[in-house]
């Protein structure tokens, strides 16, 4: 397709735009309020509402979308996973999402060491496809498990291992693109100037050789602006590499051929501790002769942020307040060990640690990979923001730059948490800009700082962007870095490729001011009339939902590494079913003038419908988003004093109905077991007809407990029995009582009026939940005050005492109860002299309940099982039932799909004698109904092995 050169038509109406896109053969076009809200931001500060979202199924649809936008004068912004931090992937016209369908690795040529890919393929998926050949794609940003390679090409992304493998531009062989003017180009090795656009570009470069040779490509991490150095004759006029980093302003990538490198068989880490981060930076140049693949810098502030995350496991680091993580590779263990000795000899560190265990190395890398999220809160809990996010300087000047940067922060009264790719001189930081303050919402303070920061980094010969591109955050700062001649050259290159300024306008050329469209600067506070306290966000629901910075970890495959967030995303692959997508819709609900009106808006409820309230995001999200709480608040506000869905009255009040059933459980079981009554009951309760209703126990645990014998005369322990266990699984509570008694405790069972109100919470009946939970807190507080541990059995209910009780009830009693609440494994681990019964050689597949993993922490359980001699395989993800959610009408198919991610495949081929440990009643129910297999609570497993 070739540009006609005609002037664009006047801007079309939204209806005309959508009609034209459909007429051009594009099938997935969405201009709904929900889609516009989901794509209104990326991982940056900026909020820009698009007019429509296009998800192309074929490269030809991209070409068609460019032509439609060009002919109608509508801006078009390419987008991959939306992890761009500088505002590179938001726009006022059409946002083109390549990640939904264009995600294939087309071919791998092991001999040529190349791969041909779609632009929307995730970097980690490319690694998986090339691994069998002993190859890999070199650059690997911290977002590698969700960022797309097309997005990496747009930003010239680098990542931790660019030191060893180069930037994206160093690893692109050829590109298939369509320019803003409509030209379809295949550019790569041997692409000559020919005629037309490329000939014009060749002539332009020839006239500006002096400017290009003196201002571009001065050091490895100079990413800002266009990388015109690749067009120099001595570099072969490489148009493909020159387009890398152009941020979708010149052309849209339809496909790419990328270079692959061999992956060394042996890796090791040397972790070095220094008095400060600047001292660590000073030591970095001396380590580079040892040929590390990565040298990463960390600060104690970011490590402390991880320690503040509930249920987080933080690896031990060497003594110091600043660290270098040095990765070494080689063909043999001996080669890597020799390199490590050399690094230690030249490091001049306070302390050091050599890591060879892959699991320990992965835990250390996880700190670095979660940096963008962890750094989103300062040491005193204030939100910190991107905006000056990845400047780079020559590595030999890094220590001095860091000291100057810290002084600049102090001078502006700001705090930041730096970290980064020190081997490349690249520093990431989030800063507590005072957005929301003053008449301008803090925009002036933001602009003043980044202007000074641009002058600082330019003074050190650096680049204002080291790998994330300039976007809206830095394009307007380019005059601090480039001469007027260079900036004029940018405009002329843009005019050749995109004469009508259709592609991502406002970025790089004719930039939008950095302070325009800042999302958090315009966010109104929402503190009145809330049901939850939002203790960590100053009581502000708006601040809570704006915790989401958009880094997109919820789009990653976390289940394989033991994570939970976000179960519905892998099942649907829809942005609305990510934690980030839901947060974006809630942010839009609060924003003025957007497509989402209020709590009851259909966009809000559609986005939240497939949220399982698993709380996985509360620990797995590095910024601490708690979507389960936000969903409860939304349901509370939406249905308060209004008619609710049927399931809220039935499943949402299950403990109440269970108490009534306890008077005649056999009769109720018989009735529910009949086809007619059972079907009618499920319809009335809003339960999917494909679900079975769990059987009520003939006698509750408390009825059985009334007939108990003495339970010992040791230290007191309160066995808090929840409604699920009491009415459906009393044998689990009996097993827990037996284990605790055997451990030397005198077991006491609080009364039947100590419900946690969980089902009321998850259905947003928060006034009732507060009343119920408040009574429980008051009943348990005397035990907690007396130092009696409160041992929970059902993880979801136990988690309520540790978390929601503080949010819903609050006060000293709730704090005492939360502090006293323990899991069975935690109490047993702290019991002097207790030894677990032998489980030698027993194969255990463990499905930690989501709330167990995310709120309580499952590490004590893992240690107990391993100490007992079991061979433990821990599953990640969610079982998919999630209390009432998975049985509700409309959720069954997704519930099964979630179970298929980890749980069901793991139990299908288990050998005889293997045990599935599942403490959650939901998890055991899902196992029984979908796999026909019984899961055991830890208490049952231990009780069976007692003498």
In percent, the amount of the chain with pLDDT more than 70 equals 97
Helix (H, G, I), strand (E, B) or coil at 844: strand
Which residues are bridge partners to 720 per DSSP?
Answer: 792
Instruction: Note the pLDDT tens digit of each residue in 78-97.
Output: 999 999 999 999 999 999 99
Instruction: Note the pLDDT tens digit of each residue in 651-672.
Output: 999 999 999 999 999 999 999 9
Write down the pLDDT at residue 747: 96
Rounded CA-CA distance 105/117 in Å is: 4
**pLDDT, averaged across the chain:** 93
- CA geometry: angle at 421 spanning 415 and 422, to 5°? 85
Q: What are phi and psi of 903, to 5 degrees?
A: -65, -55
Would you call the peptide bond into 470 cis, given omega within 30 degrees of 0 as the criterion?
Answer: no
Res. 370 pLDDT band, cuts 50 70 90: confident
Rounded CA-CA distance 457/465 in Å is: 10
Write down the pLDDT at residue 561: 67
Higher-confidence position of 871 and 8: 871
Listed residue (875, 941, 940) closest to 908, CA to CA:
875
- From the centroid of its chain, how far is CA 784? 36
510 conformational bin, left if phi > 0, alpha if psi -120 to 50, beta if neither: left
Write down the pLDDT at residue 372: 60
How large is the average pLDDT for residues 695-701? 96
How large is the average pLDDT for residues 31-50? 96
Write down the pLDDT at residue 703: 93
Sort strands 94-97 and 52-54 into parallel, antiparallel or unpaired: parallel
How large is the average pLDDT for residues 891-908? 95
Q: What are phi and psi of 41, to 5 degrees?
A: -150, 160
Q: Is the separation of the CB atoms in 393 and 425 below 8 Å? A: yes
For the cut 70, the answer to whether the pLDDT of residue 77 exceeds it is yes
Write down the pLDDT at residue 309: 67
Sort strands 172-179 and 251-259 into parallel, antiparallel or unpaired: antiparallel
Instruction: Note the pLDDT tens digit of each residue in 472-501.
Output: 999 999 999 999 999 999 999 999 999 999
Higher-confidence position of 362 and 271: 271
For the cut 70, the answer to whether the pLDDT of residue 6 exceeds it is no
For the cut 70, the answer to whether the pLDDT of residue 231 exceeds it is yes
How large is the average pLDDT for residues 832-838? 95
How large is the average pLDDT for residues 239-255? 98
CA distances from residue 131 to 106, 118, 142, 264, 611 in whole angstroms, order as listed: 15, 18, 19, 11, 34
Listed residue (517, 508, 424, 511) closest to 470, CA to CA:
508
C-beta pairs of 643-646 under 8 Å, 24+ apart in sequence = 644/763, 644/765, 645/686, 646/684, 646/685, 646/686
Instruction: Note the pLDDT tens digit of each residue in 302-347.
Output: 888 777 766 667 788 999 999 999 999 999 999 999 999 999 999 9
Res. 130 pLDDT band, cuts 50 70 90: very high
Rounded CA-CA distance 649/432 in Å is: 44
Handedness of CA 613, 616, 618, 623 (dihedral sign): negative
Rounded CA-CA distance 82/98 in Å is: 10
Q: Is the separation of the CB atoms in 291 and 327 below 8 Å? A: no
Rounded CA-CA distance 806/784 in Å is: 15
Q: Is the separation of the CB atoms in 620 and 558 below 8 Å? A: yes
Instruction: Note the pLDDT tens digit of each residue in 760-793.
Output: 999 999 999 999 999 999 999 999 999 999 999 9
Write down the pLDDT at residue 312: 66
Rounded CA-CA distance 246/256 in Å is: 15
Instruction: Note the pLDDT tens digit of each residue in 412-448.
Output: 999 988 899 999 999 999 999 999 888 898 999 999 9
Q: Is the separation of the CB atoms in 737 and 719 below 8 Å? A: yes
Res. 711 pLDDT band, cuts 50 70 90: low
Q: Is the separation of the CB atoms in 850 and 614 below 8 Å? A: yes
In percent, the amount of the chain with pLDDT more than 90 equals 85
Res. 557 pLDDT band, cuts 50 70 90: confident
For the cut 60, the answer to whether the pLDDT of residue 10 exceeds it is no
């Amino acid at each position: 397709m070739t540009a006609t050169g005609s002037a664009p038509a006047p801007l079309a109406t939204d209806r005309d735009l959508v009609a034209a896109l459909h007429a051009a053969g594009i099938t997935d076009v969405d201009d709904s309020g929900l889609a516009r809200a989901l794509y209104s931001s990326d991982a940056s500060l900026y909020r820009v509402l698009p007019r429509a979202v296009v998800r192309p199924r074929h490269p030809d649809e991209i070409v068609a979308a460019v032509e439609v936008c060009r002919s109608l004068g509508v801006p078009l912004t390419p987008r991959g996973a939306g992890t761009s931090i500088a505002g590179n992937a938001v726009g006022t016209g059409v946002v083109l999402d390549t990640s939904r369908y264009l995600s294939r690795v087309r071919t791998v040529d092991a001999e040529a060491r190349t791969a041909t890919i779609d632009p929307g393929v995730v970097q980690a998926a490319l690694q998986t496809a090339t691994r069998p050949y002993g190859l890999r794609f070199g650059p690997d940003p911290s977002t590698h498990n969700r960022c797309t390679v097309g997005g990496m090409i747009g930003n010239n992304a680098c990542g931790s291992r660019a030191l060893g493998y180069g930037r994206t531009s160093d690893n692109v062989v050829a590109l298939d693109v369509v320019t803003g003017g409509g030209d379809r180009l295949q550019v790569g090795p041997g692409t000559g100037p020919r005629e037309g656009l490329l000939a014009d570009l060749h002539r332009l470069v020839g006239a500006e050789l002096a400017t290009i040779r003196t201002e571009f490509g001065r050091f490895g991490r100079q990413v800002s602006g266009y990388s015109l150095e690749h067009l120099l004759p001595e570099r072969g006029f490489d148009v493909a590499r020159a387009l890398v980093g152009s941020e979708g302003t010149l052309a849209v990538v339809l496909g790419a051929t990328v270079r692959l490198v061999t992956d060394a068989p042996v890796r090791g880490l040397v972790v070095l501790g220094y008095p400060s981060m600047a001292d660590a930076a000073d030591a970095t140049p001396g380590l580079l002769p040892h040929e590390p693949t990565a040298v990463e810098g960390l600060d104690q502030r970011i490590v402390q942020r991880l320690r503040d995350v509930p249920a987080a496991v933080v690896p031990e680091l060497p003594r110091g307040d600043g660290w270098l993580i040095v990765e070494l590779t080689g063909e043999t263990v001996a080669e890597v060990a020799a390199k490590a000795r050399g690094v230690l000899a030249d490091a001049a560190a306070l302390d050091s640690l050599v890591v060879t265990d892959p699991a320990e190395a992965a835990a250390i890398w996880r700190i670095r990979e979660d940096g963008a999220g962890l750094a989103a809160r300062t040491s005193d809990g204030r939100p910190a923001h991107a905006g000056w996010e990845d400047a780079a300087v020559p590595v030999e000047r890094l220590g001095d730059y860091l000291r100057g940067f810290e002084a600049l922060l102090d001078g502006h009264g700001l705090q930041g948490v730096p970290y980064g790719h020190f081997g490349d001189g690249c520093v990431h930081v989030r800063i507590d800009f005072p957005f929301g303050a003053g008449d301008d919402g803090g925009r002036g303070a933001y602009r003043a700082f980044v202007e000074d920061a641009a002058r600082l980094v330019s003074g050190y010969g650096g680049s204002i962007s080291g790998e994330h591109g300039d976007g809206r955050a830095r394009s307007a700062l380019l005059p601090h870095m480039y001469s007027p001649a260079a900036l004029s050259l940018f405009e002329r290159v843009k005019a050749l490729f995109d004469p009508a300024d259709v592609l991502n306008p406002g970025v790089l050329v004719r930039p939008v001011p950095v302070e325009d469209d800042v999302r958090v600067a315009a966010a109104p506070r929402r503190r009145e009339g809330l049901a939850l306290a939002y203790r960590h966000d100053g009581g502000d629901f708006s601040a809570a939902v704006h915790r989401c910075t958009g880094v997109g970890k919820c789009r990653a495959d976390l289940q394989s590494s033991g994570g939970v967030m976000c179960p519905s995303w892998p099942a649907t692959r829809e942005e609305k079913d990510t934690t980030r997508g839901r947060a974006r819709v809630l942010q839009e609900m609060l924003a003025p003038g957007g497509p989402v009106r209020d709590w009851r808006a259909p966009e809000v409820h559609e986005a939240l419908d497939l949220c399982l309230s698993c709380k996985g995001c509360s620990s797995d999200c590095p910024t601490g988003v708690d979507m389960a709480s936000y969903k409860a608040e939304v349901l509370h506000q939406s249905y308060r004093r209004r008619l609710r869905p049927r399931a809220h009255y039935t499943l949402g009040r299950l403990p109440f109905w269970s108490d009534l059933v306890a008077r005649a459980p056999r009769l109720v079981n018989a009735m529910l077991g009949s086809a007619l009554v059972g079907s009618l009951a499920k319809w009335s309760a809003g339960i999917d007809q494909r679900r079975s209703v769990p059987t009520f126990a003939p006698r509750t645990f408390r009825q059985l407990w009334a007939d108990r014998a003495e339970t010992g005369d040791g230290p007191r322990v309160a066995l808090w029995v929840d409604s699920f266990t009491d009415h459906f699984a009393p044998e689990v509570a009996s097993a827990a009582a037996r284990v605790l008694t055997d451990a030397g405790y005198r077991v006491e069972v609080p009364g039947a009026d100590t419900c946690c109100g969980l089902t009321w919470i998850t259905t947003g009946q928060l006034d009732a939940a507060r009343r119920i939970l408040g009574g429980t807190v008051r009943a348990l507080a005397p035990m907690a005050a007396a130092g009696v541990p409160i041992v929970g059995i059902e993880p979801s209910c136990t988690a309520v005492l540790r978390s929601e009780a503080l949010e819903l009830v609050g006060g000293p009693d709730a704090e005492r109860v939360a502090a006293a609440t323990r899991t069975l494994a935690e109490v047993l681990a702290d019991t002097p002299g207790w030894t677990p019964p032998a489980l030698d050689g027993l194969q255990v597949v463990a499905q930690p309940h989501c709330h167990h993993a995310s709120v309580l922490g499952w590490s004590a359980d893992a240690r107990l099982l391993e100490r007992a001699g079991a061979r433990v395989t821990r599953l990640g993800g969610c079982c998919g039932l999630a209390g009432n959610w998975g049985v509700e009408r409309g959720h069954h198919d997704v519930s099964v799909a979630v179970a298929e991610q980890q749980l069901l495949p793991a139990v299908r081929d288990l050998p005889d004698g293997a045990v599935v440990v599942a403490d959650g009643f939901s998890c055991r129910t899902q196992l029984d109904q979908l796999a026909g297999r019984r899961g055991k609570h830890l208490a049952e497993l231990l009780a069976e092995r007692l003498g």
